[in-house]
Amino acid sequence: MKTTIKDVAKLAGVSFKTVSRVINNEASVKPQTVEKVNQAIAQLNYQPNTAARNLASANTYAIGYVYDNPNAYYVINMQNGILAECRNRGYELIIHPCHATSPTLTEEIIKMCKRSQLAGLVLSPPMSEMAGVMDSLDELAIPYVRIVSGSATKRNHRPCVFVHDRDAARNIVEHLIAQGHTRIGFISGDQGHRSTEERKLGYREALTNHGIPLDRELEIDGTYSFESGVKGFKQLRALGDQPTAIFACNDEIASGSLFAARLNGLDVPSQLAIAGFENSPFSLQTWPKLTTAAQPTGEIASQAAATLIEEIQSKRTGRLPSEVAQHTHFHPELVVRESTYIPD
Amino acid sequence: MKTTIKDVAKLAGVSFKTVSRVINNEASVKPQTVEKVNQAIAQLNYQPNTAARNLASANTYAIGYVYDNPNAYYVINMQNGILAECRNRGYELIIHPCHATSPTLTEEIIKMCKRSQLAGLVLSPPMSEMAGVMDSLDELAIPYVRIVSGSATKRNHRPCVFVHDRDAARNIVEHLIAQGHTRIGFISGDQGHRSTEERKLGYREALTNHGIPLDRELEIDGTYSFESGVKGFKQLRALGDQPTAIFACNDEIASGSLFAARLNGLDVPSQLAIAGFENSPFSLQTWPKLTTAAQPTGEIASQAAATLIEEIQSKRTGRLPSEVAQHTHFHPELVVRESTYIPD
DNA sequence: AACCCTTTTGACAACGCTGTCATTAAAATA
DNA sequence: TATTTTAATGACAGCGTTGTCAAAAGGGTT
């Protein structure tokens, strides 16, 4: 019924320990033995039992993904990216949606790690910025990789995947400036999220670089939602000196502003240009389509998982991971569409 | 460092087997013993090791969710619904995105079950209709719960959660008829998906019920995508006798049609009424907002998980699950918005 | 007090793997 | 060829639980 490592060993005519070695790609197994064992594995359609592996070894074959993001596309893409890497390397993924504001968040994460004996964690924003969470993980020596909006971070001892939101935001706003806009509104995402901060910095940088004075009136506080885009638009229209372009912190906000603008009879982009961020499906399903910055979310996630698993494996095989944490960088790319630009 | 059941036992002054009994809520433990043990557990912040539990017991504490759905909102809602139930009952969730068309699909699913020793599976469409998959699961006696678009199914031996798409579709189309429409177009989702079939049946039923003749020209084959909605609109406009209303198989299609309609200068709903299905965020972010049918995806998912876990537990405790599989039913609700109806 | 029956608890062997260390086979050296 | 070194394999003890079965502790009856 259930095929175990011993069945494979019997069929291959070796000890079950040798089969274990083959499964784990350990060195010092004769190539022809490897061959024999692999044949037996294939023949019996054998699958190693994860629970047993986890129990027997100190390290386990499961990592966790902790997220709290209202954006379904982002989560799905992240998840798929991590999963792809997990499958490649024979790891399992335990997903853990949570609420960033929960007072018991840290405790909750630790419990999950213990229960499932996770070998490591991928933290996406805003959890990737929470000192309390990181402290606890450090204390328990649970490896984690952070996905960070920005190009650097103070806590450098753990690997990070940096997404250069600031540069991308600057590119978007410079594109708007290149279209002749000088009065450009900004609608932020959730307060306290680093992505919000970075995108705002990029916005300001672009203006400053081109000698356009900053105007606090043009910077609207919002959240990552459609409604926020509607509301932000109204606030900007209520100004005496109205903007001719809006840079919204993500596509959902942008599509809310776009919605409101068209409802108010404004033509986009001739009367008002609007740009988003993220390149989500939303950005393609508005009219006109949204200019945005394309985040390669799946790749970012895969990279994070790869970094994490690499470290776990290196620990397993005894090789020490290099002292300097391994950082990687991604640069969202400007995608110009009809909401900011009309080709001649 | 690592707290085990034995530490708890020592602190509580009982054997570790008794602690195990308390953890599993087994009968025949004296209440005051339970109390003592629970105190010790709390004090040590003990978490049972899932891997060990899975290994030791025939049944495990992990279920799987198999899906192939391009719709991120649907997947996230399903996932969250299942997870909520899992957390309640101390189960883990292993997610398995896949491609319904993959030739090795069945094999792949079986492998996952073996590897993670899954106690059961939640199958969402279209996997919930695949005979090959179900046969293999039956053979290995792996419990599963199906989420089915429809009100009944031939394979009745396993529990199903039925979502009455047909009735909901009929309600939508009858709403359109009540608005005076008699020439109503239909744009389908992916061919072969049961939801597509059911929604088409509901559409036809409504027409027939009101003595409106069916016209094959009005039934456009599409897929569950925005582009398909754009294309479907064009096909319907190309007809000699154009429809005055469109019922699209989901909100994404509907929003595509809406997009195309407005691009063509049509006013919605006065010149063309458009309805979708699903009540996804899309339906709120169009202008005008979409009439649709609200599927309680999260609840559906929780119900499916609850049914599955119930069965697993009953097996564990020896009580036989009732011979007749447990079926439950959900009825998506009509949500009327501005894309089909103008309040006076 | 002696008996039986029920409730509650404990001892100990699995579960299917990995880690450690001993052993054997093969290769290199003297 | 004898001897040392290295590569390849095997034996066996855990890992932290649950399952099985036996033992102990109570509770009624006679």
Query: What's the CA gap between A338 and A273, in Å, rounded?
Result: 9
Enumerate residues 6+ apart whose C-beta is below 8 A from A240.
none
Asked if strand C contacts B320 at the CB level, meaning under 7 A, the answer is no
Let me know how many helices (H) and strands (E) chain B has, helices first.
12, 12
pLDDT of residue A268: 92
Res. A315 pLDDT band, cuts 50 70 90: confident
Res. B286 pLDDT band, cuts 50 70 90: confident
Query: What's the CA gap between B331 and B293, in Å, rounded?
Result: 9
Residue A148 has pLDDT above 80, yes or no: yes
Taking the CA of residue B131 and the C1' sugar atom of nucleotide D12, their distance in angstroms comes to 46
Average pLDDT of the residues of chain B: 91
Query: What is the least distance, in Å, from the CA of A85 to any CA of chain B?
Result: 13
Average pLDDT of the residues of chain A: 91
pLDDT of residue B323: 45
Phi, psi of B76 (to 5 degrees): -60, -45
pLDDT of residue A203: 98
Asked if strand C contacts B30 at the CB level, meaning under 7 A, the answer is yes
Q: If you measure CA to CA, which chain B residue comes closest to A259?
A: B287
Host H or E run for residue A160: strand A160-163
Burial class (CB in 10 A: 0-12, 13-18, 19+), A3: middle
CA B80, chain centre distance (Å): 11
**B16 and B8 in contact (C-beta within 8 Å)?**
yes
> pLDDT tens for residues A250-296?
999 999 999 899 889 999 999 999 999 999 988 998 889 999 999 99
User: Averaged over A56-72, what is the pLDDT?
Assistant: 87
The answer to whether the CB atoms of A47 and B285 lie below 8 A apart is no
Residue A148's DSSP bridge partners are A162
Res. B11 pLDDT band, cuts 50 70 90: very high
Asked if strand D contacts A30 at the CB level, meaning under 7 A, the answer is yes
Taking the CA of residue A29 and the C1' sugar atom of nucleotide D1, their distance in angstroms comes to 30
Query: What's the CA gap between B168 and B332, in Å, rounded?
Result: 6
Residue B1 has pLDDT above 80, yes or no: no
Instruction: Set out the domains of chain A in order of their start, with CATH numbers.
Output: 5-48 (1.10.260.40), 62-164+298-332 (3.40.50.2300), 166-294 (3.40.50.2300)
pLDDT of residue B58: 75
pLDDT of residue B141: 87
Asked if strand C contacts B164 at the CB level, meaning under 7 A, the answer is no
Asked if strand D contacts A27 at the CB level, meaning under 7 A, the answer is yes
> pLDDT tens for residues A274-285?
999 999 988 998
Q: Which residues of B touch A72 (CB under 8 A)?
A: 72-73, 75-76
Pick the range with the lowest mean pLDDT from A9-13, A217-221, A241-245.
Answer: A9-13
Residue with CA nearest to D15's C1' atom = A56
Enumerate residues 6+ apart whose C-beta is below 8 A from B101.
none
pLDDT of residue B231: 97
> pLDDT tens for residues B207-261?
999 999 999 999 999 999 999 999 999 999 999 999 999 999 999 999 999 989 9
Residue A147 has pLDDT above 60, yes or no: yes
Res. B324 pLDDT band, cuts 50 70 90: very low
> pLDDT tens for residues A27-56?
788 888 899 999 999 999 999 998 999 999
Res. B318 pLDDT band, cuts 50 70 90: low
- Distances from the Cα of B54 to the Cαs of A82, A108, A334, B306, in angstroms? 24, 21, 48, 19
Residue B160 has pLDDT above 70, yes or no: yes
Nucleotides of strand D under 7 angstroms from a protein beta carbon: 7-12, 14-20
Enumerate residues 6+ apart whose C-beta is below 8 A from B228.
B187, B222, B253, B256
> pLDDT tens for residues B266-280?
999 999 999 999 999
pLDDT of residue B64: 95
pLDDT of residue B71: 83
User: Averaged over B52-77, what is the pLDDT?
Assistant: 89
The answer to whether the CB atoms of B49 and A226 lie below 8 A apart is no
Q: If you measure CA to CA, which chain B residue comes closest to A58?
A: B2
pLDDT of residue B281: 86
Query: What's the CA gap between A110 and B248, in Å, rounded?
Result: 46
Res. A71 pLDDT band, cuts 50 70 90: confident
Nearest to B56 by CA among B120, B112, B117: B117
Please tell me which of the candidates A51, A54, A256 has its beta carbon nearest to residue B60. A51
Taking the CA of residue B32 and the C1' sugar atom of nucleotide D27, their distance in angstroms comes to 19
User: Averaged over B5-34, what is the pLDDT?
Assistant: 90
> Residue B218 gets which letter from DSSP?
G
Asked if strand D contacts A17 at the CB level, meaning under 7 A, the answer is yes
Angle value at C-alpha A258, between A255 and A263, nearest 5 degrees: 130
